[in-house]
């Protein structure tokens, strides 16, 4: 095969047509991707809207399957597209996107979050926001129709998730005094458009209020009390989030050993920091109360994150990574909501309209921030984590078609890379300060613990008799044991742990994709070392791997084996 130099082959044309059609059917997703021209619309979430998406996937899979590729680059493009769309079709067949509700990632949360990313610089921008706000009611009505249809097929999310989403919606509409829609309208300029935005925001608030009330009055009575999704649903979710098929029992057993390994390392650092006391909890309390490791105020904390993110870009560019000037900007943001989540949003496709952004939804009342925990978070969300990965992919117009650059995201690839990036910063010497290193390991331990909890709870597995902590041997996992285990193996506030547990129960397979994804990235690097021997170059490995775009981890391993 000869490598093509520009992405204009038949498989690239199919991929780009797919992306254009998908953006037309999913305008909110287009905004998240940074694709312009769709900000004035919201998607059709009725059964007919979902059928249109299913039909698009089926047609594209049929077209792509028939294409003969003529280069290694085209082979990767075809493999990645078929892997993603094939799993999407399986997921639609199982009714997952149509019925799955949780407080982190479902259709009602996506619609609310899209307003965080819309331009606000001009009066035209605000008119576009008002147009989209006025469509919230129609969109939610369509989704209510879909949920009703799915309920008739016996597909309803667990009662815990339905109730939690209703409570989250109430928090957006002012139940706790934090009215998102009023806050959005208040930002509109003092001009004739302000009244238009205020009326549209009131309409959207009313639509969400009505939808939340319907959830508790109509859907909740049909919801099962059982939290576990079961093996069949979980195996599909795991494959979709990872882009790889893993042995769930082996991964569960590995999670126990990995957690024990990390905590042993943490105890060694704890002893060095706290006069020989190996207690992780004791040293965490010590660091949390260290004034030198504390920042007061949201704005000051945002500024600290920004300085650290900027320094990482400047120091890594041209040394360990190739970071073009056009993607060296990342903005650290305090989110307009207060649910405690931390996340990254990519730059706009043109790399100028909207920069890459790192968001922190600080919980109400939180004003003090312990920096020892968050150094590694900045590397995870920024550089060399998500920002480098996503923005670099968007630049490679010479290697990747448009769908590969902006339309494909695989959690195991992305979150696995970001967790790998945290560990890489330790390898490169950026976490030599013991507190920062302990913070990285603390995050790693938490990700290992949730591999155990997520798989254990949804498959309702037995706790191993010989588990390394001697903890409840022979008992069977449920939500209560999940909370107990997370509390024993994390140094976080109780309410945060409860929120995390709720996330795992409502979004099966996603939480393990971080640590399992990192495991596969490390295996891929080791395979490359063994294959190339003395010719292995770490910087080249990172460049070549990221140049493949965000693809499933099985396609990633197949592609790397041919480099």
* Structure-block tokens of residue 209: 């209020």
Cα 333 to Cα 30, 267, 299, 343, 344, distances in angstroms? 21, 34, 9, 10, 10
Mean pLDDT of 332-357: 87
pLDDT tens column, 24-72: 999 999 999 989 999 999 999 999 999 999 999 999 999 999 999 999 9
Helix (H, G, I), strand (E, B) or coil at 65: helix
Closest CA to 165 of 153, 149, 147, 152: 147
For the cut 50, the answer to whether the pLDDT of residue 4 exceeds it is: no
Q: How confident is the model at residue 336 (pLDDT cuts 50, 70, 90)?
A: confident
**CB-CB neighbours of 472 under 10 Å:** 14
Under 8 Å between Cβ of 459 and 280: no
Tell whether the torsion through CA atoms of 486, 489, 495 and 496 is positive or negative: negative
Q: In what order do the strands lie in the sheet with 356-360?
A: 330-334, 356-360, 342-345
Supply the Cα-derived Rg of the chain in whole angstroms. 23
Alpha helices by DSSP H, 354-478: 371-381, 386-395, 402, 411-427, 434-459
Q: What is the mean pLDDT of residues 365-384?
A: 94
Backbone angles phi, psi at 240, to 5 degrees: -70, -40
| Beta carbons of 352 and 338 less than 8 angstroms apart | no
User: Quick check: 445 and 259 in contact, CB under 8 A?
Assistant: yes
The answer on pLDDT for 364 being more than 90 is no
Question: How deeply is 350 buried, as exposed, middle or buried, from its count of CB atoms within 10 A (0-12, 13-18, 19+)?
Answer: exposed
Please choose, from the candidates 427, 344, 310, the residue with its C-alpha nearest in 3D space to the C-alpha of residue 116.
Answer: 344
Phi, psi for 321 (deg, rounded to 5): -140, 155
Question: pLDDT exceeding 90 applies to what percent of the chain?
Answer: 90
Helix (H) or strand (E) holding 294: strand 294-296
Residues 129 and 120: their CA atoms lie apart, in Å, by: 8
In three-state secondary structure terms, 376 is: helix
**pLDDT higher than threshold 60 for residue 5:** no
C-alpha 375 chain-centroid distance? 19
Secondary structure of residue 556 in the 3-state scheme: helix
- For 106-153, the pLDDT digits (tens) are 999 999 999 999 999 999 999 999 999 999 999 999 999 999 999 999
- The candidate with the shortest Cα–Cα distance to 562, out of 550, 551, 548, is 548
Q: Please name the helix (run of DSSP H) or strand (run of DSSP E) that holds residue 160, with its range, or none.
A: helix 159-172
Q: What is the pLDDT of residue 3?
A: 43
Q: What is the mean pLDDT of residues 72-94?
A: 96
- Residue 361, pLDDT score: 86
* Residue keyed to tokens 């998240």: 32
Q: Residues 6 or more apart from 512 whose CB is under 8 A from it? A: 238, 241, 251, 255, 450, 451, 454, 455
The pLDDT, as a whole number, for residue 1 is 36
Judge whether residue 491 has pLDDT over 70: yes
C-alpha to C-alpha distance for 486 and 26, rounded to whole angstroms: 36
Q: Which of 77-86, 186-195, 234-243, 345-354 is the least confident region?
A: 345-354
pLDDT in tens, 297-310: 999 999 999 999 99
pLDDT at 351: 85
Q: What share of the chain is helix, strand, coil (3-state, %, to 5)?
A: 65, 5, 30
Omega prior to 384 cis, within 30 of 0: yes
* Residue 286: CB atoms within 10 Å: 18
Residue 296 to residue 302: CA distance in whole angstroms: 10
- For residues 369 and 40, give the distance between their C-alpha atoms in angstroms, rounded to a whole number: 38
What confidence tier does 2 reach under pLDDT thresholds 50, 70, 90?
Answer: very low
Task: Give the per-residue pLDDT at 6.
Answer: 60
Mean pLDDT of 507-526: 96
For the stretch 385-432, pLDDT in tens is: 999 999 989 899 999 999 999 999 999 999 999 999 999 999 999 999
Q: What are the residues facing 179 on neighbouring strands? A: 173
C-alpha span between 285 and 491 (Å, rounded):
9
Query: Mean pLDDT across the chain, nearest whole number?
Result: 95
Phi, psi of 486 (to 5 degrees): -65, -40
User: Is the pLDDT reported for residue 204 higher than 90?
Assistant: yes
């Amino acid at each position: 095969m000869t490598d093509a130099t520009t992405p204009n082959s038949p498989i690239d044309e199919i991929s780009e047509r797919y992306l254009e059609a998908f953006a037309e059917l999913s305008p909110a997703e287009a905004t998240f991707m940074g694709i312009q021209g769709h900000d004035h619309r919201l998607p059709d979430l009725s059964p007919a809207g979902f059928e249109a998406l299913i039909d698009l996937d089926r047609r594209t899979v049929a077209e792509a399957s028939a294409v003969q590729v003529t280069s290694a680059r085209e082979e990767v493009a075809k493999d990645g597209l078929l892997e993603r769309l094939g799993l999407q079709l399986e997921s639609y067949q199982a009714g997952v996107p149509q019925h799955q509700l949780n407080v982190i990632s479902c259709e009602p949360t996506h619609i609310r979050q899209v307003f965080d990313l819309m331009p606000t610089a001009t009066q035209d921008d605000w008119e576009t926001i008002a147009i989209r706000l006025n469509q919230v009611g129609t969109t939610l009505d369509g989704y209510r129709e879909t949920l009703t249809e799915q309920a008739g097929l016996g597909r309803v999310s667990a009662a815990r998730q339905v109730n939690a989403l209703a409570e989250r919606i109430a928090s957006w509409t002012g139940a706790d005094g934090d009215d998102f829609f009023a806050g959005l309208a208040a930002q509109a300029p003092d001009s004739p458009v302000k009244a238009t935005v205020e009326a549209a925001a009131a309409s959207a608030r009313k639509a969400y209020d009505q939808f939340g009330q319907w959830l508790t009055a109509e859907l909740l009575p049909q919801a099962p009390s059982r939290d576990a999704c079961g093996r069949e649903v979980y195996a599909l979710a795991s494959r979709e989030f990872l882009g790889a098929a893993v042995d769930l029992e082996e991964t569960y057993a590995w999670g126990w050993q990995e957690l024990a390994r990390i905590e042993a390392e943490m105890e060694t650092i704890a002893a060095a920091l706290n006069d020989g006391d190996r207690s992780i909890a004791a040293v965490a309390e010590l660091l949390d109360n260290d004034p030198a490791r504390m920042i007061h105020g949201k704005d000051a904390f945002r500024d600290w994150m920004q300085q650290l993110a900027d320094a990482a870009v400047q120091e890594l560019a041209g040394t360990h990574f190739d970071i073009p000037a056009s993607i060296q900007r990342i903005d650290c943001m305090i989110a307009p909501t207060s649910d405690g989540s931390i996340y990254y949003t990519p730059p706009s496709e043109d790399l100028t309209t909207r920069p890459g952004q790192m968001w922190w939804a600080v919980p109400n009342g939180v004003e003090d921030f312990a920096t020892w925990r968050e150094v590694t978070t900045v590397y995870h969300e920024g550089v060399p984590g998500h920002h480098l990965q996503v923005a670099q992919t968007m630049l490679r117009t010479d290697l990747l078609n448009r769908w590969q650059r902006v339309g494909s995201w695989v959690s195991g690839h992305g979150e696995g890379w970001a967790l790998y990036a945290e560990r890489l910063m330790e390898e490169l010497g950026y976490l030599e300060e013991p507190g920062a290193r302990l913070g990285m390991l603390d995050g790693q331990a938490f990700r290992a613990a949730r591999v155990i909890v997520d798989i254990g709870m949804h498959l309702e597995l037995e706790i191993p008799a010989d588990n390394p902590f001697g903890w409840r041997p022979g008992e069977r996992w449920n939500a209560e044991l999940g909370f107990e285990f997370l509390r024993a193996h994390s140094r976080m506030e109780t309410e945060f742990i409860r929120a995390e547990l709720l996330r795992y129960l409502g979004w099966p397979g996603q939480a393990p994709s971080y640590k399992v994804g990192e495991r596969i990235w490390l295996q891929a690097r080791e395979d490359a070392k063994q294959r190339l021997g003395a010719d292995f170059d770490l910087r080249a490995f990172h460049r070549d791997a990221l140049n493949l775009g965000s693809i499933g981890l099985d396609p990633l391993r197949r592609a790397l084996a041919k480099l």
